[in-house]
Structure 1
């Protein structure tokens, strides 16, 4: 636990979720003096990086993101080797629905040289009868499931191996300028001095921005962040279906009335079923501090109805349910930007987990001035939705 401190670090990273842990790891590996601050514990249950089930996929309508996944996968492989742990389990993925445009996704994957197939709905139903496909289906076998909590802990451990300090139970209250750097104040009166800061606070970011000494022009140029208390439900595999976690792919389905995603639920719910959610289906909240952890009955009813109609391989009554945080930008692009020597990182909109090591690399490059990040992640907004 953190205690009263007058310590100073060259770089202080605030937030030990996937992005913050990756940034601390990258900075420490380059030989910088790093302190990682976390209001609770790494991959905390009330944050955005807890649990064992996040989708890893290559399929995007925007070639930029598909190329970025390729870059990220190389870093994931290196991280897994260095950490000595399996972080991504392969399951493959299916994308379908009249608004998902599987044919366009296939074109993007073909241009990037990524293994895939575009199959008819009838052929797909023959391969995966547990899913009621309504359009052509994109299948790409290289997709899988990220163990988010294990990944966070692996990156934190590597950061510590390279000399970083980790302070848990350290809730940032406000920041003041101190000479050429910053003094951070915790909610319990502790202080820590930093030459440079990286803020990667997930759903706490919108509220925290108010307390950061950032130029007014920079703040005015940031996107409007919205935070949702996303709802996720776990459904058991039907005993008579012959299917289990070993032969269920991950999926994204965009239909007219609902956009859903699903994946094997992992240890989050005892490996007994599929995790299914409506994308951005939960209620909006001002920031993570206002989350209740209470599941919205209307959202549960929509997802249960969807499972009953569209996923015949599942028992349509959830055996477990949870909430998590989605922090969104209007374009669904990330924010990785810097003013003075303070870097703000928000790899958000529900699709950032797969890029975690790459986001850490981008953030470390920007924070140290040794490299750039894609222009679309700076405070000038990107024009196109991504997912």
Structure 2
């Protein structure tokens, strides 16, 4: 058995969760992060991610129930709240609130299906034109603090964190692996977990995977998304998170926490940003036309907000086919890509699933394993 550590490339939510779960099991772990945990060039920075149970596929709602237990444990171990309860609204012609309500009912998750008039009376800052689903167990995750909590727990359990260590390639070395940085530094590892987010497409060809695995790997699409922060007309109003899907636009919003100086709503268009090759092309420039499109939406659909953004940011979405996650391995290289803009809420569970796969104690979730049929997977 190799005496080298398990190397984890990337200290965002997925990588941090995996490091925590492996280190707590007694495995030697080294975390290799190109900047700092939850750094601004990744997908886990900032204080605001939506936690919700609403999915048209009951499979993901069930996963969220499991993940919430992991969040509860993490908060207990951290000794402070990482999720702010807000409740959530789902509405719009293509969101199908009634179908989502049926999934929540089957999972025994409290919810209400309201008329547009009923919802408008309760949430005067939002405009509705059809049925609205409310479920109070939703909230907002502080992503950065969650990453720090999980990395802290991993380090306390013996893991090593190397910051400013940008992985460039992984090379098989007998039964082990050499992980080489862009600066030429090398780490010897018994196994490698790649949780590189939007950097994965640029790194994939350097992971030492066989050509058949590269050919079979799902095509990833990285988008440079942008979010704007709008002030509340009523500073005392309590806003929920929301998802509004219409034929012409799909928008989500949430209280912005630190990202919005605790005084506004973070609003973004889902998959509304430009497609880029990988995080290497992330220029962090907000597109004026896309900004104006979102401002126009706010003026029309969110009367409780002043349609003049006071802050703006860009972020990365890494989309996989059918919005599925990828948690798979070939040999001793595990690729963890909880893609498509909805992975953050599952972080503790994703770390658990990845740790099971790495240690061989569980085969993982079959639908997240597109490479499992390959020889040596």
Same fold (TM over 0.5): yes
224, 228, 231: which one pairs with 2:226? 231
Using the TM superposition, give the Cα deviation of residue 380 of structure 1 relative to its aligned residue in structure 2, in angstroms: 6.0
1:116 & 1:325 partners in 2: Cα distance? 31
| Unaligned ranges ≥5, structure 2 | 373-377
User: 1:305 maps to which residue?
Assistant: 296
1:215 & 1:195 partners in 2: Cα distance? 18
2:190 & 2:125 partners in 1: Cα distance? 54
Q: Is the 8 A contact 1:52 1:146 kept in 2?
A: yes
337, 342, 352: which one pairs with 2:343? 352
Using the TM superposition, give the Cα deviation of residue 256 of structure 1 relative to its aligned residue in structure 2, in angstroms: 1.1
1:185-204 maps to which residues of 2 (within 5 A)?
185-204=180-199
RMSD across aligned positions (CA): 1.3
2:32 matches 1:30: no
43, 50, 54: which one pairs with 1:48? 43
2:187 matches 1:175: no
Using the TM superposition, give the Cα deviation of residue 262 of structure 1 relative to its aligned residue in structure 2, in angstroms: 0.0
User: 2:106 maps to which residue?
Assistant: 111
Q: Is the 8 A contact 2:228 2:268 kept in 1?
A: yes
User: 2:249 maps to which residue?
Assistant: 258
259, 274, 282: which one pairs with 1:283? 274
Using the TM superposition, give the Cα deviation of residue 379 of structure 1 relative to its aligned residue in structure 2, in angstroms: 1.0
Using the TM superposition, give the Cα deviation of residue 183 of structure 1 relative to its aligned residue in structure 2, in angstroms: 0.5
1:9 & 1:327 partners in 2: Cα distance? 31
User: 1:274 maps to which residue?
Assistant: 265
2:5 & 2:62 partners in 1: Cα distance? 32
- The number of residues matched between the two structures is 371
| Unaligned ranges ≥5, structure 1 | 1-7, 382-387
1:45 & 1:324 partners in 2: Cα distance? 8
2:68 matches 1:77: no
Q: Is the 8 A contact 1:243 1:313 kept in 2?
A: no
Using the TM superposition, give the Cα deviation of residue 374 of structure 1 relative to its aligned residue in structure 2, in angstroms: 1.5
Q: Is the 8 A contact 1:15 1:199 kept in 2?
A: yes
1:345 & 1:189 partners in 2: Cα distance? 24
Q: Is the 8 A contact 1:181 1:196 kept in 2?
A: yes
2:189 & 2:217 partners in 1: Cα distance? 23
Secondary structure of 1:176's aligned partner: strand
1:160 & 1:77 partners in 2: Cα distance? 20
Q: Is the 8 A contact 1:329 1:349 kept in 2?
A: yes
Using the TM superposition, give the Cα deviation of residue 269 of structure 1 relative to its aligned residue in structure 2, in angstroms: 2.1
1:155-170 maps to which residues of 2 (within 5 A)?
155-170=150-165
127, 134, 138: which one pairs with 2:122? 127
User: 2:375 maps to which residue?
Assistant: none
Q: Is the 8 A contact 2:101 2:113 kept in 1?
A: yes
* TM-score w.r.t. length of structure 1: 0.94
2:55 matches 1:64: no
Secondary structure of 1:376's aligned partner: helix
Secondary structure of 1:314's aligned partner: coil
CA deviations over 1:180-234 (Å, ceiling 9, x no partner): 0111111111110001000000000001001111122222111100100010000
2:97 matches 1:102: yes
1:380 & 1:313 partners in 2: Cα distance? 47
Q: Is the 8 A contact 2:328 2:371 kept in 1?
A: no
Moved over 6 A (4+): none
Higher alpha-carbon deviation: 216-225 or 297-306: 216-225
Higher alpha-carbon deviation: 180-189 or 56-65: 180-189
2:19 & 2:49 partners in 1: Cα distance? 21
CA 305–162 in structure 1, closer or farther in 2 if over 3 Å, else same: same
1:217-228 maps to which residues of 2 (within 5 A)?
217-228=212-223
Q: Is the 8 A contact 2:298 2:305 kept in 1?
A: yes
1:96 & 1:176 partners in 2: Cα distance? 48
1:345 & 1:24 partners in 2: Cα distance? 12
User: 1:333 maps to which residue?
Assistant: 324
Q: Is the 8 A contact 1:221 1:380 kept in 2?
A: yes
